[in-house]
Amino acid sequence: MNRFLLSSVALAGLVFVAACTDQKSNVENAGVEQDRAESYTQPDAAMQNPLLAPWTGPYGGVPAFDTVKLEDLKPALEIGMKRNLAEIDAITANPDAPSFENTIVALERAGRDLNRVFRYWGIWSSNMSSPEFRKIQGEMAPVLSEFSSKITQNAALFARVKAVYEGEEMKTLRPDQQRVVLLNYEGFARNGATLNEADKARYTAINSRLSELQTKFSNNVLADEEKYVTYISAEQLGGLPESFIKAAAAAAKSRGHDGQYAITNTRSSMSPFLTYSDERDLREIVWRTYYSRGDNGDANDNNAIIAEILQLRDERVGLLGYDNYASWRLENRMAKTPERALALMEAVWPAALARVEEEVADMQAIVDAEGGDFKIAPWDYRYYAEKVRKAKYDLDSDEVKQYLQLDNLRDALFFVADELFGYEFKPVPEGSVPVFHPDVKVWEVTMKDSGEAVGLWYLDPFARPGKRSGAWATTYRSYENIDGKQTVLGSNNSNFVKGAPGEPVLISWDDANTLFHEFGHALHFFSSKVDYPTLNGGVRDYTEFQSQLLERWLSTDAVIDKFLVHHETGEPIPEELVTKIKAASKFNQGFSTTEYLASALVDMRYHTVDPTGIDPDKFERETLAELGMPEEIPMRHRSTQFGHIFSGEGYSAGYYGYMWADVLTADAAEAFAEAPGGFYDKQVAKKLVDHLFAVRNAVDPADAYRAFRGRDANIEALMRDRGFPVPVKDQN
What is the CATH number that goes with domain 303-307+321-395+588-655? 1.10.1370.10
pLDDT at 306: 98
pLDDT in tens, 520-562: 999 999 999 999 999 998 888 898 999 999 999 999 999 999 9
Residues linked to residue 405 through DSSP beta bridges, in sequence order: 506
pLDDT band for 727, please (50, 70, 90 cuts). confident
For the chain, residues classed under CATH 1.10.1370.40 are: 8-217
Q: Are 471 and 493 in contact (CB under 8 A)?
A: yes
pLDDT at 4: 41
Annotated active-site positions, please? 518
Nearest alpha carbon to residue 529 among 490, 488, 492, 491: 488
> What are the counts of helices (DSSP H) followed by strands (DSSP E) for the chain?
29, 7
Q: How far apart are the first and last CA of the chain?
A: 42
pLDDT at 6: 44
Nearest alpha carbon to residue 494 among 508, 476, 477: 508
**Which residues lie closer than 8 Å to 590 by C-beta, 6 or more apart?**
352, 353, 354, 355, 356, 357, 358, 359
Tell me the average pLDDT across 349-376: 96
Extract the runs of DSSP E, i.e. beta strands, from 472-601. 472-477, 488-496
pLDDT band for 16, please (50, 70, 90 cuts). very low
Phi then psi dihedrals of residue 521, to 5 deg: -65, -45
453-462/488-496 β-pairing = parallel
| Alpha helix positions (H), 333-460 | 338-369, 381-393, 397-401, 406-421
CATH architecture of 8-217: Orthogonal Bundle (1.10)
The percentage of residues in the chain with a pLDDT greater than 70, rounded to a whole number, is 93
Nearest alpha carbon to residue 707 among 717, 718, 695, 724: 695
Task: Please say if the pLDDT value at position 227 is more than 70.
Answer: yes
Task: Please say if the pLDDT value at position 652 is more than 60.
Answer: yes
Q: Are 302 and 294 in contact (CB under 8 A)?
A: yes
Rounded to whole angstroms, the Cα distance separating 651 from 12 reads: 9
Tell me the average pLDDT across 477-493: 96
Q: Are 11 and 145 in contact (CB under 8 A)?
A: yes
What average pLDDT does the chain have?
91
**Which residues lie closer than 8 Å to 444 by C-beta, 6 or more apart?**
59, 425, 426, 427, 428, 453, 456
DSSP-derived secondary structure letter, 565? B
pLDDT in tens, 488-514: 999 999 999 888 888 899 999 999 999
Task: Please say if the pLDDT value at position 11 is more than 90.
Answer: no
pLDDT in tens, 400-451: 999 999 999 999 999 999 999 999 999 999 899 999 999 999 999 999 999 9
Rounded to whole angstroms, the Cα distance separating 538 from 452 reads: 26
Residues linked to residue 373 through DSSP beta bridges, in sequence order: none
Rounded to whole angstroms, the Cα distance separating 16 from 23 reads: 11
The amino acid sitting at 529 is K
**Which residues lie closer than 8 Å to 41 by C-beta, 6 or more apart?**
47, 79, 83
Q: Are 520 and 551 in contact (CB under 8 A)?
A: yes
Nearest alpha carbon to residue 144 among 200, 80, 70: 80
pLDDT at 502: 86
Nearest alpha carbon to residue 475 among 410, 532, 512, 525: 525
Rounded to whole angstroms, the Cα distance separating 603 from 708 reads: 31
pLDDT at 501: 85
Rounded to whole angstroms, the Cα distance separating 229 from 497 reads: 14
pLDDT at 47: 56
pLDDT in tens, 463-473: 998 998 889 99
Q: Are 435 and 66 in contact (CB under 8 A)?
A: yes
pLDDT band for 726, please (50, 70, 90 cuts). confident
The amino acid sitting at 285 is I
Burial code (b: 16+ CB inside 10 Å, e: under 16) for 259-297 equals ebbbbbbbbbbbbbbbbbbebeebbeebbebbbbbbbbe
Burial class of residue 487 (count of CB atoms within 10 Å of its CB; 0-12, 13-18, 19+): buried
Rounded to whole angstroms, the Cα distance separating 59 from 12 reads: 29
**Which residues lie closer than 8 Å to 99 by C-beta, 6 or more apart?**
164, 169
Task: Please say if the pLDDT value at position 23 is more than 60.
Answer: no
